[in-house]
Every structure is written in structure tokens, then in C-alpha cells.
């Protein structure tokens, strides 16, 4: 077996990766998409081929003969987008860190270097894999030289491979003829002019017949078709020049020793550091050895367990100046307390017989009455039985105010991250790379046995309080600098306690009825299933889009509307259009609906019902980029309502004995926010008239008297209203309304004519976003939008829509957060039995005691309407019912 070498065309692959992967930056804001894409391709190839040698070639930007020639033709080289340019040096650094040889030969192009090295290696008896995104290189293909072209295909990167025979198969010419082929047909991306009017087909025929351009010219009278003959006759010189341009040199005078391409130390500590810094999390597990660099602070970490030691620590804490950090380390039960009195010291206090959870909780609470403390993921800690008195006991306002949740603050400062653990905070604010929980312990849950022995566990715990303590002042400063101090202290921190309350209360579910609902669904599922199999004549997995696509579009030969990365699209909007084509379609749609209800809701919810007959879902405060909260385990924010069958499930959500549900809903809060923020008089007036906004919009946009607006006009206007909030695009609106892009555009134009300040406002949001790199809500919440300055049209357009949507969605989120806090506080403050239990973005669900219905309805209306003072009224609709179905 011959030894193998892989040669990579650096710029070409980097370029390809850049356009294949959407905007990606690490938390420092450095663009990383191209580097990640490059590494993914490289690793894929290394895994596949296991080569003995590897080298990457880059251009050195100095004018060369070929450059000058083609620049003479087409003016300047297409300039590289900034975000890509920045990644070139990073890419090189990363490769160097991995001890991978980089070839850069001043005066030569990467192509020529690759061609030369490939040829040398071939002669020396090596098998060569040449990886590039550039089809130019196909001319180098041979028996021993395989050209590999990664394709960012739908469904991942596929690599096309070309040896001699593959080139012949694909293009009908030999690799050498490929040069002549390109000379004739040209290549716009390489600025090779070719012969005008001669495309791939004709060029292939000519070269297939005459072998070379020169030979074809010599037999010019035999060249067919006549059009091509004339074209070649008139452009012969250009064709020859094109051929020169297209020729890759294989004889550059350069030194190459195979030993230079040895690579045996890719996964080293240095490279690991780079991967971490660039946040290539998925690639980190390639590094087998855990290369945790000691940051030095571990020296100051100490594990203690006696009462005396603990007392001494807390005595000392009273006097310190900064903001001490604390984190209760727990899985289900408390394992201990991590505490950092200053940024130079941290302790892990092991929970034990004498050092009990109540004791430790009491100590921290006492301290928090007196001074500010920093922690991480506070809400999770509050669920510890010993700690929940921080919320439930009276007179804990001061205490609550004194606790600083660094995770929440870090989220405000960058809501785009996916986690805000101690390791993330240490990296972002302290510049320290410390091992994460999964790096230390894998996916295992924390357990008592870990506490016993490992030094690692002490480190793990101490890192947490340490990071919170040391980062707190820096984060506070950053919050002030970003003008989010108020947002943080007046909305986000109080909300932590509100959400904790809600999680703690949960919502009651009738287990029996849920089961019956599921059984009812199962009957439908079974009958639909047999019907579907009968109709199509075979059994298959209806839930597999792949199998379903084959059945519908190949077996039944139905017209397919759209393709996805992996095959035919079988989404509801596509199937809906096929309903008249075949009776099975309706059944499949029904089947989809019923199985969804069964698996996600009937079965899915059942597992979360606790011994108290209630579901205690979690609310996530650091997920949504816009500032919304989200709901998990289970998601209680997407319980069906639109379809009757699904809506039925709401009947199983019930209040406790002697209580009812009150459901309070903001009416079109986002459009009202838009009216306020844009200041558009007409829109504001429309809301002050308190009429049907979609009807008013229709009336004004379509110049129709209010009472003559048709239902179609109204629903079109409604779609436009939604579109505006989503960051309008004519394409998107057209898609939604099933009308042409042109028609959609005229709707939008009419809308903007009607509400000129709205247009103005949205334009400003985009412009400001481009300038600042972020957009803001009324309350100062920021959302960074790196995509806004992307050179990629798709990404930039996305950024523009986000710039228009986020301030609106985010402001609405801010408002309802304020309302939640106030409603919760008021109910608690008045010692009412009624309690806030759910938030569904613009809706609050209260479990209200029968004797308090009037009072609570009033509180809801008041607090929600007055959560923010806008130029339009905030309308709230309160409904009641003996289950969630009735209350909506």
C-alpha cells in the first residue's frame, strides 16, 4: 500500500466554508465560521483517509504573472469580505498550533504550488489527495492524484472524488483536455474569458473531437456548429490566453521534502487552547487527553468541613470589601456550599451532619441581609428546601436585592450565548479557561461519591463561587456601561423570584382525563393508520418524512412542491395543496395532527405529573435572544389551542379545589408597542379608537370605508400587520398569503404609505443596528446582530428582519415581565390565596381562589395595563373558567 498525502488548497476551502456556514462568532466577536468549516472538512478527510502526510497551501498575495494577466482582463480581483479576511490569519495560526505544515511560496499561486507538489509526490510513489473547492484543479487528476471537492450539499458536506476516469465520466474529457475545455468555455469566477458563446456542451464536443484548442483552430473548417466555429475564429487569441490562464503549473522551482508534511501532533495543548478560545465545542472531544491548564488559582482553593472552620469563614466574610461569591452545589440534594470571600480565595464547604443545609442556608441568608453577594443560576438554587425561605418568608426584600445573579447579567450582556455557567463567565469576563462540569465529570450527574475523594470536585465547586465573585464587579460595570443596570435590577433580578414561585407552584393536571384523552387519540391513530396503508397499498412509517416522500412523490407520483436538504418536503403547507390530488393526503395530515397530540402532549405531559398532581415546568430566563422567557420540561407555552381537537387538552389543566382559573391576555401587545415606538399618528389613533385594528388597517390600506371591508381584506391586513412585526419581506408575506411577491410588495407599500412613521422607524432600527451592532428595546435590553454586516445577502437580510423584530418582541417581553413581577408581588403582599402560575408570552394564568375572583381580576387588569405607559392603551382581556379550556 502506497503512503498517502493529503494536500489542501487553503484559501479555496476556507472560502467555501465561509459561504457554507452562516454567521458564527465566538463571544469575543471574532468571526469563526470559515475556520470551523475548514476544520470540519479537514477532519472529515483525515478520518476517512488516515493519510501519512498532510500539508495546506496558501497564496501569498504578491502579484504573479497569472494575476497580472487576469487583472488586465477583468480589473481588480473580487475583494474578500472582511469577516473572511480576518479569519485567514486565525486559520493559519490554528494550523500551526496543530503542527500542520503550511506552504506559502511567495511568487507562486497556491494552485501552482499544489500542482507542483502533487506531481512531485506522484513521481515519488505516493498516493495524493488534493482537496479544493476549485474545479480548476481537475486538470491535475491522474491515477494517483485524486482531486477531492467538498460540496456543501443539503444534509452535510459530501466530497466529490475525481481520478482520471471520474473526470472523463463527468466532463467527457481527460484531465489534460480539461485545460483546453476551460480555455474555450471560460470561467467567470476565475475571470477566464474563454470564447464567447461557447458553453460547456459545445466546448466538450470540440475538445472531444480535436483534443486541443490549437488543433481545433488548425482544423477550423471542421469545427461545428458554425456559430462556435466563427466564435473560435474570431477569439482564437483570447482562447489561447484563456488556456494559459487556466493552466496550473506542475513544475514550479520549489523545494519540497516529504518530511515537511509529517503531522503527528494535531491534538496538542496549544491547539486545544485555540479551539476553546474559538469555542469549537463540537471539536473539543477530539482531544483525548484532558488538557486542562492550571490557571494558578486552584492553589487558593480549599475544602473544609468542620463547624469551626465554617464559622471562621463566615466571620471573616462580614469584613470583606468586595462582593463575595456563593454557590450551593447540589444535584437533588445539597452536597455543599462553594464560597469565595474575595477574588483570591475560595472554599468548598462540604455538607454533613453538623454542617447541615439549613445551617448553611441560614448563614448565607444572614450575610445577604447585610451585604451584596454574587452567585450563578440563582433560581435553580432556590429550589433547595433549605433555601426557598429566601423567597417565601416575609421581610426578605433586602436579602433579595443583595443577591446578584451573574448568569442573568451575562445573559443581558450577550443574550446570544447558549450557556452562562461558571466556565463561560470565567472565559468572557476573566479571560480564564477553566474546565467545565462536563470536562471534569463527563455527562455524569454530581453525586455524593464525588465529594468524598476528588480534588477535582473541590476545584469544580470553588471555580463557581470564585468566578461569580471575581466577575461580579466587572459585570456590574459592563451593565452600567451598556445602560442595562436598571433593566437588570428592576426587571430581571426580581423576575428570578417570580419565576421561582411559578415553578414551585406548578399547574394541576387531571391525570385520569389526560389518560382518557390519550386513549381517544390512539383509537384515531390506529384507524387512520390502517386506512392510509390501504389507500397507498403498503405499510410504511408515516412519521418518516423520507419514507413518506417516497410514497407520495415517487409511488403516487404526486407533484412535489419543494425539496429540502434531505429529500422532498412533506410539510403541512405543501400537503395542504395536495389535498385535492389524493384522498390519502387529508388522512396523513390528520394522522400527523393526532400523533403529535398523542406523543408530545398526551404522553409527553403525563410523565411530568408529580405526586401533588401538578406539573412543575421550568421557566428559562436566559435562552431567548429577544428577552422572552421560555418554558421547558415540559413546554407549557405551546399547549394546543388553534385546532379544536388539540384545544380539548386544555380541559385537563384544572385549578385546585375551591379555585378557578383567570386568564389575562394582552390584546395585540406587539402592534401597540410598534404604534408607540414608531410614533405613527395614524396607527396610534387607530388604537385609541379601540376598534378592530386589522379592519382599520384594511380600511386605510385599501381605501375602503370601515364597514365595507371584506373579510379577505381584513385577513390580508392582518397578515401584513404580522409581517411588519416579523421584519417584513415581500417574499415572506407572499408565501404566507399564497400570493405573488409582487402583490405582496404592493400591500407592503400601501401599508407604508398609510403608516409612514412605521416605515421610518423600521428603517432607523436597521440603520442603527448596522452602526451599533445591536438593537435595543424600550427598556434598554440589547440584542446584538452580527449578521447585519454580513457580506452574504441571506444572512444580512435575516439580520435586517431581526433588527426590526427584536425591539418590538423584546419590548413586549419587558412589559409582561414587569406585569408578572407586580402581579405576583401584589397577590403575595395582600396575602391573597390566588397565585400566578403560568406566562405564555402575552398571557398570564392565575389560579384564583373563588372568594378573590373580582379582586384578582381587577389587579390583573390594573397591573398589566399599567406595566408600561405607552402612547396607546394596553388592553387586557380577563377570562375565567373551571379549566384552561374554558378560561381562554
Partner DNA sequence: TGGTTCACG
Partner DNA sequence: ACGTACGTGAACCAG
Of the residues 10, 31, 183, 634, which one makes contact with DNA according to CB under 7 A? 634
Q: Does 151 bind DNA (CB under 7 A)?
A: no
Backbone dihedral angles phi then psi of residue 308, each to the nearest 5 degrees = -60, -45
Backbone dihedral angles phi then psi of residue 497, each to the nearest 5 degrees = -75, -35
Residues 806-845 interacting with DNA (rule: CB under 7 A): 806, 809, 840-843
Q: Does 78 bind DNA (CB under 7 A)?
A: no
- Give SS3 for 430: helix
- Closer to DNA by CB, 184 or 748: give it: 748
151-159, 257-265, 268-276, 856-864 -> range binding DNA (CB under 7 A): 151-159
Q: Does 749 bind DNA (CB under 7 A)?
A: no
Of the residues 353, 793, 831, 854, which one makes contact with DNA according to CB under 7 A? 793
- Closer to DNA by CB, 706 or 794: give it: 794
Compute the least distance from the CB of residue 744 to DNA, in Å: 8
- Closer to DNA by CB, 127 or 843: give it: 843
Which DSSP symbol is given to 579?
G
Q: Does 155 bind DNA (CB under 7 A)?
A: yes
Here the cell at position 43 is 477532519
- Whether the Cβ atoms of residue 329 and residue 337 lie closer than 8 Å to each other: yes
Residues 538-557 interacting with DNA (rule: CB under 7 A): 541, 543-547
Compute the least distance from the CB of residue 859 to DNA, in Å: 21
The span from the CA of 690 to the CA of 692, in Å, is: 7
Q: Does 740 bind DNA (CB under 7 A)?
A: no
Q: Does 781 bind DNA (CB under 7 A)?
A: no
Which CA distances in Å does 299 have to 81, 256, 303, 325? 46, 48, 11, 18
Q: Does 233 bind DNA (CB under 7 A)?
A: no
Here the cell at position 91 is 486559520
125-133, 172-180, 316-324, 724-732 -> range binding DNA (CB under 7 A): 724-732
Residues 269-288 interacting with DNA (rule: CB under 7 A): 282
Tell me: cis bond preceding 547? Omega within 30 of 0 counts.
no
Of the residues 624, 739, 778, 853, which one makes contact with DNA according to CB under 7 A? 624
Of the residues 52, 736, 861, 862, which one makes contact with DNA according to CB under 7 A? 736
Which CA distances in Å does 291 have to 285, 392, 739? 11, 44, 57
Q: Does 135 bind DNA (CB under 7 A)?
A: no
- Give SS3 for 826: helix
The span from the CA of 454 to the CA of 463, in Å, is: 14
Here the cell at position 687 is 388604537
Residue count, binding to DNA (CB under 7 A): 76
Strands 403-405 and 373-375: parallel
* Cell 412585526 belongs to residue: 725
Compute the least distance from the CB of residue 879 to DNA, in Å: 13
Of the residues 307, 572, 690, 712, which one makes contact with DNA according to CB under 7 A? 572
Residues 6+ apart with CB under 8 A from 109: 59, 64, 66, 67
Q: Does 369 bind DNA (CB under 7 A)?
A: no
Q: Does 251 bind DNA (CB under 7 A)?
A: no
Residues 636-655 interacting with DNA (rule: CB under 7 A): 637-643, 646-647
Q: Does 199 bind DNA (CB under 7 A)?
A: no
* Cell 443577591 belongs to residue: 403
Of the residues 343, 729, 857, 883, which one makes contact with DNA according to CB under 7 A? 729
Residues 6+ apart with CB under 8 A from 674: 683, 724, 725, 758, 761, 808
- Closer to DNA by CB, 217 or 722: give it: 722
21-29, 138-146, 173-181, 797-805 -> range binding DNA (CB under 7 A): 797-805
- Closer to DNA by CB, 127 or 863: give it: 863
* Sheet arrangement for strand 403-405: 301-304, 345-350, 334-342, 325-330, 373-375, 403-405
CA neighbor of 374 nearest in space, from 433, 329, 322:
322
Tell me: cis bond preceding 716? Omega within 30 of 0 counts.
no
- Closer to DNA by CB, 176 or 636: give it: 636
47-55, 226-234, 403-411, 566-574 -> range binding DNA (CB under 7 A): 566-574
Which DSSP symbol is given to 27?
T
Residues 583-612 interacting with DNA (rule: CB under 7 A): 589, 592-593, 595-597, 599-600, 603-604
Q: Does 129 bind DNA (CB under 7 A)?
A: no
Compute the least distance from the CB of residue 240 to DNA, in Å: 30
Q: Does 750 bind DNA (CB under 7 A)?
A: no
The span from the CA of 556 to the CA of 628, in Å, is: 44
Which DSSP symbol is given to 224?
S
- Closer to DNA by CB, 461 or 840: give it: 840
CA neighbor of 374 nearest in space, from 411, 414, 408:
408
Amino acid at each position: 500500500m502506497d503512503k498517502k498525502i493529503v494536500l489542501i488548497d487553503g484559501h479555496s476551502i476556507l472560502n467555501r466554508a465561509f459561504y457554507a456556514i452562516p454567521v458564527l462568532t465566538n463571544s469575543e466577536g471574532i468571526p469563526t465560521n470559515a475556520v470551523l468549516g475548514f476544520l470540519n472538512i479537514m477532519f472529515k478527510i483525515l478520518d476517512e483517509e488516515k493519510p501519512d502526510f498532510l500539508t495546506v497551501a496558501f497564496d501569498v498575495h504578491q502579484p504573479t504573472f497569472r494575476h497580472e494577466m487576469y487583472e488586465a482582463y477583468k480589473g481588480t480581483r473580487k475583494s474578500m469580505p472582511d469577516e473572511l479576511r480576518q479569519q485567514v490569519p486565525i486559520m493559519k495560526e490554528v494550523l500551526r498550533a496543530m503542527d500542520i505544515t503550511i506552504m506559502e511560496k511567495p511568487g507562486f499561486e497556491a494552485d501552482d504550488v499544489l500542482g507542483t507538489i502533487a506531481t512531485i509526490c506522484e513521481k515519488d510513489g505516493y498516493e495524493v489527495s488534493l482537496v479544493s473547492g476549485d474545479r480548476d484543479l481537475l486538470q491535475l487528476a491522474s491515477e494517483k492524484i485524486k482531486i477531492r471537492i467538498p460540496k456543501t450539499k443539503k444534509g452535510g458536506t459530501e466530497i466529490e472524488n475525481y481520478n482520471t476516469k471520474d473526470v472523463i465520466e463527468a466532463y467527457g474529457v481527460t484531465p489534460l483536455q480539461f485545460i483546453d475545455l476551460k480555455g474555450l468555455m471560460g470561467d467567470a469566477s476565475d475571470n477566464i474569458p474563454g470564447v464567447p458563446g461557447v458553453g460547456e456542451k459545445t466546448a466538450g464536443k470540440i475538445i472531444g473531437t480535436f483534443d486541443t484548442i490549437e488543433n481545433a483552430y488548425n482544423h477550423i473548417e471542421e469545427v461545428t456548429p458554425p456559430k462556435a466555429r466563427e466564435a473560435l475564429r474570431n477569439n482564437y487569441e483570447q482562447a489561447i490566453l484563456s488556456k494559459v490562464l487556466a493552466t496550473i503549473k506542475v513544475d514550479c522551482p520549489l523545494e519540497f521534502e516529504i518530511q515537511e508534511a509529517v503531522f503527528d501532533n494535531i491534538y496538542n495543548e496549544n491547539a486545544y487552547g485555540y479551539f476553546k478560545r474559538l469555542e469549537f465545542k463540537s471539536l473539543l472531544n477530539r482531544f483525548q487527553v484532558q488538557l486542562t491548564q492550571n490557571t494558578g488559582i486552584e492553589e487558593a482553593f480549599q475544602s473544609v468541613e468542620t463547624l469551626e472552620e465554617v464559622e471562621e469563614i463566615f466571620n471573616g466574610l462580614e469584613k470583606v470589601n468586595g462582593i463575595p461569591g456563593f454557590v450551593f452545589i447540589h444535584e437533588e440534594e445539597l452536597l455543599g456550599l462553594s464560597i469565595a470571600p474575595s477574588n483570591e480565595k475560595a472554599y468548598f464547604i462540604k455538607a454533613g451532619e453538623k454542617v447541615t443545609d439549613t445551617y448553611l442556608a441560614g448563614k448565607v441568608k444572614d450575610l445577604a441581609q447585610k451585604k451584596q453577594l454574587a452567585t450563578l443560576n440563582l433560581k435553580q438554587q432556590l429550589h433547595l428546601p433549605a433555601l426557598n425561605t429566601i423567597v417565601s418568608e416575609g421581610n426578605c426584600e433586602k436579602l433579595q436585592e443583595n443577591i446578584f445573579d451573574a448568569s442573568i447579567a451575562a445573559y443581558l450582556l450577550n443574550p446570544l450565548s447558549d450557556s452562562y455557567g461558571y466556565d463561560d463567565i470565567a472565559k468572557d469576563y476573566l479571560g480564564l479557561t477553566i474546565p467545565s462540569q462536563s470536562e471534569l465529570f463527563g455527562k455524569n450527574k454530581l453525586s455524593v461519591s464525588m465529594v468524598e475523594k476528588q480534588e477535582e470536585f473541590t476545584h469544580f465547586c470553588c471555580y463557581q463561587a470564585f468566578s461569580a465573585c471575581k466577575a461580579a464587579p466587572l459585570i456590574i460595570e459592563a451593565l452600567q456601561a451598556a445602560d442595562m443596570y436598571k433593566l437588570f435590577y428592576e426587571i430581571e433580578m426580581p423576575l428570578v423570584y417570580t419565576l421561582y414561585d411559578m415553578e414551585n407552584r406548578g399547574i394541576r393536571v387531571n391525570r385520569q382525563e389526560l389518560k382518557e384523552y390519550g386513549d381517544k387519540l390512539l383509537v384515531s391513530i390506529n384507524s387512520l393508520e390502517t386506512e392510509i396503508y390501504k389507500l397507498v397499498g403498503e405499510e410504511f412509517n408515516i412519521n418518516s418524512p423520507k419514507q413518506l416522500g417516497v410514497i407520495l412523490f415517487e409511488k403516487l407520483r404526486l407533484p412535489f412542491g419543494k425539496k429540502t436538504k434531505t429529500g422532498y418536503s412533506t410539510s403541512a403547507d405543501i400537503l395542504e395543496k395536495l389535498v385535492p390530488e389524493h384522498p390519502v393526503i387529508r388522512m396523513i395530515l390528520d394522522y400527523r395532527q393526532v400523533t403529535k397530540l398523542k406523543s408530545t402532549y398526551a404522553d409527553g405531559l403525563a410523565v411530568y405529573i408529580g405526586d401533588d398532581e401538578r406539573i412543575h415546568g421550568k421557566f428559562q430566563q436566559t435562552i431567548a435572544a429577544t428577552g422572552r422567557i421560555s418554558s421547558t420540561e415540559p413546554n407549557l407555552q405551546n399547549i394546543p389551542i388553534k385546532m379544536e381537537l388539540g384545544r380539548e387538552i386544555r380541559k385537563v389543566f384544572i385549578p385546585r379545589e375551591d379555585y378557578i382559573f383567570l386568564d389575562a391576555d394582552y390584546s395585540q401587545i406587539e402592534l401597540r408597542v410598534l404604534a408607540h415606538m414608531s410614533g405613527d399618528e395614524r396607527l396610534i389613533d387607530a388604537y385609541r379608537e379601540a376598534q378592530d385594528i386589522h379592519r382599520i388597517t384594511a380600511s386605510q390600506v385599501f381605501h375602503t370605508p370601515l364597514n365595507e371591508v371584506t373579510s379577505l381584506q381584513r385577513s390580508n391586513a392582518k397578515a401584513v400587520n404580522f409581517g411588519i412585526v416579523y421584519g417584513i419581506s415581500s417574499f415572506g408575506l407572499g408565501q404566507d398569503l399564497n400570493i405573488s411577491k409582487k402583490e405582496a410588495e404592493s400591500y407592503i407599500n400601501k401599508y407604508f404609505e398609510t403608516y409612514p412613521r412605521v416605515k421610518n422607524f423600521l428603517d432607523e432600527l436597521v440603520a442603527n443596528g448596522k452602526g451599533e451592532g445591536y438593537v435595543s428595546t424600550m427598556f434598554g435590553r440589547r440584542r446584538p446582530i452580527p449578521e447585519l454586516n454580513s457580506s452574504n445577502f441571506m444572512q444580512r437580510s435575516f439580520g435586517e428582519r431581526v433588527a426590526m423584530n427584536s425591539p418590538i418582541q423584546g419590548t413586549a417581553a419587558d412589559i409582561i415581565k414587569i406585569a408578572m413581577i407586580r402581579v405576583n408581588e401584589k397577590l403575595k403582599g395582600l396575602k391573597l390565596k390566588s397565585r400566578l402560575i403560568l406566562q405564555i408570552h402575552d398571557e398570564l394564568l392565575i389560579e384564583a381562589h373563588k372568594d378573590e375572583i373580582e379582586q384578582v381580576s381587577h389587579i390583573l387588569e390594573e397591573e398589566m395595563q399599567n406595566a408600561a405607559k405607552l402612547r396607546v392603551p394596553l388592553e387586557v382581556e380577563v377570562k375565567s373558567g373551571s379549566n384552561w379550556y374554558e378560561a381562554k
